[in-house]
A and B are shown apart, each in its own frame.
Chain A
Amino acid sequence: MDMSQYRGLFFSETREHINNLNKLVVTLEQEPGHRETINALFREAHSIKGMAATMGFDHTARLSHRLEDMLDGFRASGEVSAPVFDYLLDGIDLLEGLLDDLQGNQPERSIDAFLRKQPQPPTQKVDDPAEENLADNALAVANAGAPGAVSITIETGDDKSAESPVRGAAAEEPDLFQVLVDLLEDTPASAARCLLILRELAGSGELITSKPDMASLRQGEPCERLQAWLRTSLTKQHIEEALRKISGVANVRFIDDRRQRERSSSDEAGRTVRVRTDLLDQFVNLTGELITRRYMLHSAARHQDWNELTQSLTETGRLIDDLHHHVLQSRLMPLENITGRLPRIVRDLSRKADKKVTLRLIGVDVGIDRVVLEELTDPLVHLVRNAVDHGIDKEGVVTVTARRERDLVLIEVADDGRGMDPELLRRKAVEQGLLTARQAEGLSEHDALMLVCQPGLSTAEEVTETSGRGVGMDVVKAAVVNLGGTLAITSAPNQGTRFQMHLPFSIAIIKLLMVSCGGHHIAIPITRVQRMLDLPSGEIEGSAVQRVFRLDGEIVSLWSLNRALGLPEEPAGEITWVVLTELMGRRIGLQVDRFLGHREAFVKKIGFPLNLLTGLSGATVEGDGRVVFIIDPQPLLEERQLLDQDWTPGGPDALS
């Protein structure tokens, strides 16, 4: 059986086990009698042994077997005495060294010295003098082997790499490694300098070979970087110190060392995400295809083969789209990550309010970008909390449903409770001076329900109690809008309430519609665009104050985006270019000067005070370096609605 295909898995899993071993030993050190920790340690070592033996990695298997035996002894005795920790940690380091060897396709280093130092696994009780003897031995061994080593803290990767690779009990085992020495720029007589360095290295072990080698250095070949392979029982630290004393030496590096440092820094980054391997395979495939494409493009360009060039460009575009898609996929995390806490919340709330509420979660395995997911946590909890508090009367069901709807994900929180009364909300809004009576009358049912998202209304206790949801709904709406999503409410008295959030899967890279207004480029998130229309200007009706047009038998208000953005308006030609968007469930046309096309863009955050400007949600940089601002029409329109007291969302037909 070909085991090589399992190498990658073996290394990643064994490194995880080694991580755990390190953590567990440190934990155990705090509480040496903790039986569970000892058991866990035993299991980790046991796992490594099994895998290493299967892979045929003899030294790794033997060493982990020894550790396993030792830990088994502690399982019997129930406690680990203090001095043994150093020894254990040395053993773990040695295991790590063995993995380095194997991953570097080198023979496993010798473990005999380590094994010799631990003649018998302890089987006696702690109070047995033999055990103490053993512990003393282990201590003495550890100290003799590695002066100053073995203060293991899991976080500090730098300390570890400084002491590696040959510390601990294995320190006197000769070890092969590669040294890279950089000389300062313009070091005089660099060949002579390198000869001195090689002489120093030869004095600290067996100098196997070097690049450049002695012969070419003796010929006076100038050299700014010396590479040498050395077998030595000295520590890297020791060698580095000696080399750094030599005049003209700028930098000393060890190849293994660097690898370790990289590994530990990635550990510190902490936020890891598990990516399915088939996804990673797709990355590799796509990258491979892209590389091939690049050569084809080069070749086509060289031969000025326009057909081939065009075709290759199209193909490259497709590959990039694919890659983008898969990269975004790799950032997706299931919604379950944040719905996991809901059952507990619902249980606590319903118990407190003496209600009987059932929570149903449907489709929560849908993947959502981690950033969106993080921002969504609070709004979702708010909605569920409100459903239990205000939606359900005595007994009922709260359902959280998630599903994909094309480029968006729909997350819905529904209850089968008493529902909300739009009429009551209208009245309250007027009483509290949020709307004039005429405005309130003009509100559609949906718009009236959306009034619960008005901060002013949310605090009104009576509304909350009898028909509303108030609590924090403004916060929910703001969060959804910030993510480039929309919030919709449907409800009727005694027929429950349904909150629907449509959200983009990912927000880092979004699709934008680029338009031109008053000579400036403006970007609108595609999630805000329902349709792009080119209307014959003659079909625009209404007054100068309020223009409208007919679409699918409906009358739609037309606004000038130029005016909303404070930009000069161009006189419309025969065609009026309109971006169809929606505000509070109603379609609205935004007139622009020109469409410039779609673009996928990385969204940059904008600094203070740009972030205070209504309607500006970010910026993107175009290929020519032009900074284009991304506007969100929704807040612009809402602001307009507030300023323009005569305006009602229903358009002129609502006025008559």
Chain B
Amino acid sequence: MAMTLTLIFTLGNELYGLEIDAVQEIIENPVVHHVPRAEGVVGGAINFHGQILATVDLPALLGFSGAPRDPRQVVLTAKFKSLALSVSGIQRIVELDLSALRPPPASAQKSAIRGVTTLDQTTINLLDCNEVINQLEHFYAQ
């Protein structure tokens, strides 16, 4: 059984997973700069080693209202446009078997879930980074 190192985080009350391979860095308490016209789903910008990156408010983008925000941010790899993700809470890194994902529940319309698995009887939604990018594109294409 091939195990994949996976970062577990929360959006609202739901548990999400993100393969470590998609993560470039987890940064503590970055200074978030104001972005004019960013409107909600982009919470600001950070200066990440000289690159100006958008910090994406993932709970807001995916419709989790009123959720708290972890002071840390997850910077994705360049493959996922080096987005910095703000999430409700960053929990830990675990090994997951991602070879047998179940499809996400059909109800989740706006969700960005690549599949579902379980860890200690809890459901973990695997974040679909490409879908996050799609939704951002869609959001700003108007």
Contact = CB atoms under 8 A, between A and B. Distances in A.
State yes or no: do A and B touch (Cβ within 8 Å): yes
A607 B52 contact: yes
B81 A627 contact: no
Nearest to B39: A566
A610 B54 contact: yes
Contact of A608 (B31, B39, B47, B83): B83
B35 A607 contact: no
B141 A610 contact: no
A615 interface: yes
Contacts of B45: 606, 610, 619, 627, 629
Given A565-B36, A614-B37, A629-B35, A607 B47 contact: no
A609 B140 contact: yes
Contacts of A606: 45, 52, 54
Contacts of B42: 609-610, 613
A629 B36 contact: yes
B140 A612 contact: yes
Contact of B37 (A566, A604, A626): A566
A606 B140 CA distance: 15
Nearest to A620: B52
A259 B54 CA distance: 42
Given A607-B81, A627-B47, A565 B37 contact: yes
A368 interface: no
Contacts of B101: none
A626 B46 CA distance: 10
Interface in A598-623: 604-610, 612-616, 619, 621
Interface in A491-527: 517, 520, 522
A608 to B, nearest CB: 4
Interface in B67-119: 81-83
Interface string A305-331: 000000000000000000000000000
Interface in B33-76: 33-39, 42, 45-47, 50-54, 56
A625 B36 contact: no
Contacts of A625: 31, 47
A578 interface: no
Interface in A214-242: none
Contact of A567 (B36, B56, B133): B36
B37 A609 contact: no
A612 B137 contact: yes
B36 A616 contact: yes
A607 B37 contact: no
A621 B82 CA distance: 19
A616 to B, nearest CB: 7
Contacts of B27: none
Nearest to B54: A610
B37, B38, B45: most-surrounded residue (chain A CB, <10 A):
B37
A120 to B, nearest CB: 61
Contacts, number: 73
B136 interface: yes
Interface string B115-142: 0000000000000000001001101110
A89 interface: no
A654 B6 CA distance: 62
Interface string A585-606: 0000000000000000000111
Interface in A542-582: 565-567
Contacts of B37: 565-566, 613-616
Contacts of B47: 621, 625, 627
A614 B54 CA distance: 15
A608 B54 contact: yes
Contacts of B137: 609, 612
A612 B42 CA distance: 11
B51 A607 contact: yes
Interface residues of B, number: 27
A135 interface: no
Interface string B6-20: 000000000000000
B52 A604 contact: yes
B27 to A, nearest CB: 15
A347 B52 CA distance: 46
A627 B33 contact: yes
Contact of A609 (B34, B52, B136): B136
Nearest to B46: A627
Most chain B beta-carbon contacts within 10 A, residue among A566, A609, A619, A626: A609
A584 interface: no
A608 B133 contact: yes
A631 B133 contact: no
B83 to A, nearest CB: 7
A566 B36 CA distance: 7
Nearest to A608: B81
Contact of B140 (A567, A607, A613, A619): A613
A128 B108 CA distance: 86
A430 B45 CA distance: 41
A613 B136 contact: no
B33 A626 contact: yes
Contacts of A621: 47
A609 B50 CA distance: 17
Interface centre among B31, B46, B54 (most CB of A within 10 A): B54
A626 B52 CA distance: 11
Contacts of B31: 625
A612 B137 CA distance: 8
A629 B38 CA distance: 11
Contacts of B39: 566
Contacts of A626: 33
A621 to B, nearest CB: 6
A613 B81 contact: no
Contacts of A614: 37
A507 to B, nearest CB: 17
Q: Which of B33, B39, B47, B82 has the most CB of A within 10 A?
A: B33
Contacts of A609: 42, 54, 56, 136-137, 139-140
B136 A520 contact: no
Nearest to A607: B53
A614 B83 CA distance: 19
Given A605-B52, A609-B137, A613-B42, 5 more contacts: A606-B52, A607-B82, A612-B136, A613-B35, A629-B35
30 contacts: A522-B36, A566-B37, A566-B39, A567-B36, A604-B50, A604-B51, A604-B52, A606-B52, A606-B54, A607-B53, A607-B81, A609-B54, A609-B56, A610-B35, A610-B45, A612-B137, A613-B36, A613-B37, A613-B38, A613-B140, A615-B37, A616-B35, A616-B37, A619-B52, A621-B47, A625-B31, A625-B47, A627-B33, A627-B47, A629-B45
The 9 A-B residue pairs whose C-beta atoms are closest, nearest first, are A627-B33, A612-B140, A565-B36, A608-B81, A609-B136, A619-B52, A610-B54, A607-B53, A606-B52
